[in-house]
Amino acid sequence: MNEFLPVCREDMEQKGIEQLDFICVTGDSYVDHPSFGVSIISRVIEAEGYTVGIIAQPNWRSQKDFTKLGRPKYAFMVTSGNIDSMVAHYTVALRKRTDDAYTAGGKAGKRPDRAVIVYCRKIREIYGDIPIVIGGLEASLRRFAHYDYWDDAVRPSILVDSGADLLSYGMGELQTIEIVGRLAGGEDIHSLTDIRGTCYLTDPVNTPYGGVQCPDFQVVCRDKKNYCKATKIQMDNQDEITGRTVLQRQGDKMLVQNPPMRVLTTEELDRVYALPYTRTYHPMYEELGGVPGIEEVEFSIAHNRGCFGNCNFCSIAFHQGRKIAVRSEESVLREAELLTTLPNFKGYIHDVGGPTANFRQPSCTKQMEKGLCVGKKCLAPTPCKALEVDHRGYLELLREVRAIKGVKKVFIRSGIRYDYMMEDKDDSFFRELVEHHVSGQLKVAPEHCSGDVLDCMGKPHIEVYKAFAEKFYQITKKLGKKQFLVPYLMSSHPGSTLKDAVELALFLKEQGIHPEQVQDFYPTPGTVSTCMFFTGLNPYTMEPVFVPKTPEEKAMQRALLQYFLPKNHALVVKALRQAGRSDLIGTGQKCLVPPLRETYGTAKNAHTQKAGPAKRSTHDGQSGRKNDFGGKKNSGGTKRPVQKGRKQHPFVKRPK
């Protein structure tokens, strides 16, 4: 039976360890499962022959937890956990959350705001100049000067605020192996300036030649056009082949981002998933009821990484990259067989997916030599002519998994890219998806119906979703099944006017869709959409973009997506009048809502109802939604807290 890594002195003594080589500090409870980034990184370090311990959710108000394992021989490795600590703590309406699925017992408050910064400063206070390496989602997405929604201001690189020595961005296995090896070999951490996939601060005189420089931190704070320029430079240099060294002045220091680390090969990714994880939470949490975040990933399998879909509101491309990495069929099948031996397995594999479940090959062959196209998308607004679509490998993998003895059903719950499916001339995958891999509902993400808004999102136009939905229901009917599409929708994204929101409400009425869940756009670091939100400009065209920002404006857009709810009635009426669409208020077939008097009886009553729904509608409405940090099933931090009953990924990712 696999053992957990040391979490206390007693564990060290039992293993005969006097001093640990490395200590990993995380903002999550300790779950030793490959869906948790710190678990992967700690096991990778262990596999290199070093001793490593875990300090999970230390009390940052004292030194006790930070000293319980002693001083590591080489370095501290620090992460906020699977998601950004600010997203973990606050809704899009900036209200404090009461739950945290990555914490034992599910209760919020066990990690600080801006956890990476707080942990690093405490380590510095205790241990002085000991080497500190930061990584995971919070660090990765804040590596440059970035707009911070919670401060409503531009903050410097997290390297500046944390005082850490080195930042590992993206999927960190390869750079971690190089970092720990060189530190153990006696190199000073300040000399590790040539490792791909890392960032560091240096005196300007030591700035390496050949890089592309972003506008300075002080400049992007006051000039939004320069903020856009910096965003475009950063986004355009995340490919392992075309990406250059990126520079940005941070006060009296120069931030250097080395080119991205190469994507893991299939053999390397297989080895990562073959490491000796216990695949559960540490037993010290048993009396608290365990860690909710394990529930949906416990019987799920990640078969890929990366996403060439590259939606503007998602940070997967900025963190994981657009190039697809895949595990071998043999590796996935071994994990599936392992799942059947676990005590709580009931025969159902909840997912064989990833950031985008049906990506199992490059978008085209030329990217393997020339990299992915800079400033272009493979699927939006229309599929690239060079796009190569083939589901045969993924389909064969699913067939083999569902044929394993003890497996009753294999579901796909992570994002399916339906526009990619519609480009496949072979319907085999579509048919078998509907027949074998839908658990009653298939979650997909058209997000909006307005062409202008979808262009700002970097998504295909709504006609593609309509064609997909028609085909889905045709196959479903032919099979005699009762299955449904659950469309994810987003309100208040940059580019979405009140008229666009009305258009979306009419689309929902036409399609007979009554969404139970909608999400207000959450401007998190590391996305093009967040740049639009902050600047009011599209960084790729420099054209103005309308941005809904006031609480009432955002509430009206969100209410229109659920126009059928009585609590939204008064606010929807107000929104329709403001949008010049009073014709949609009435009892006719084409109307969205009846007049206020019909529902509330008197004008006086109607007036008293106005403020209530408007105020309540400013909440994020993300029940069961994944956040827009991008996501994946295996490390770092993708797409907000996990909620029971939903498939979640540490990088919080949302369906495509």
Residue positions forming the annotated binding site for [4Fe-4S] cluster: 307, 311, 314
Instruction: Give the integer Cα–Cα distance in Å for 97 and 393.
Output: 41
CB atoms within 10 A of CB 462: 20
CB atoms within 10 A of CB 284: 14
Instruction: Give the integer Cα–Cα distance in Å for 311 and 379.
Output: 10
| Half-sphere exposure at residue 533, Cβ-oriented, CA atoms within 13 angstroms | 27
CB atoms within 10 A of CB 265: 11
Structural contact between residues 141 and 524, judged by C-beta atoms closer than 8 angstroms: yes
Counting beta carbons within 10 angstroms of the beta carbon of residue 477, is it exposed (0 to 12), middle (13 to 18) or buried (19 or more)?
exposed
Instruction: Give the integer Cα–Cα distance in Å for 502 and 495.
Output: 14
CA distances from 468 to 258, 325, 421 (A): 41, 26, 8
Q: What are phi and psi of 311, to 5 degrees?
A: -65, 145
Counting beta carbons within 10 angstroms of the beta carbon of residue 105, is it exposed (0 to 12), middle (13 to 18) or buried (19 or more)?
middle
Which residues contribute to the annotated binding site? 307, 311, 314
Instruction: Give the integer Cα–Cα distance in Å for 518 and 554.
Output: 12
CB atoms within 10 A of CB 458: 22
| Half-sphere exposure at residue 360, Cβ-oriented, CA atoms within 13 angstroms | 22
Angle at 284 between CA 282 and CA 288, to 5 degrees: 105
Residue carrying structure tokens 């290199």: 48
Query: Which one, of 43, 110, 36, 45, lies nearest residue 79 by Cα?
Result: 36
Instruction: Give the integer Cα–Cα distance in Å for 563 and 569.
Output: 7
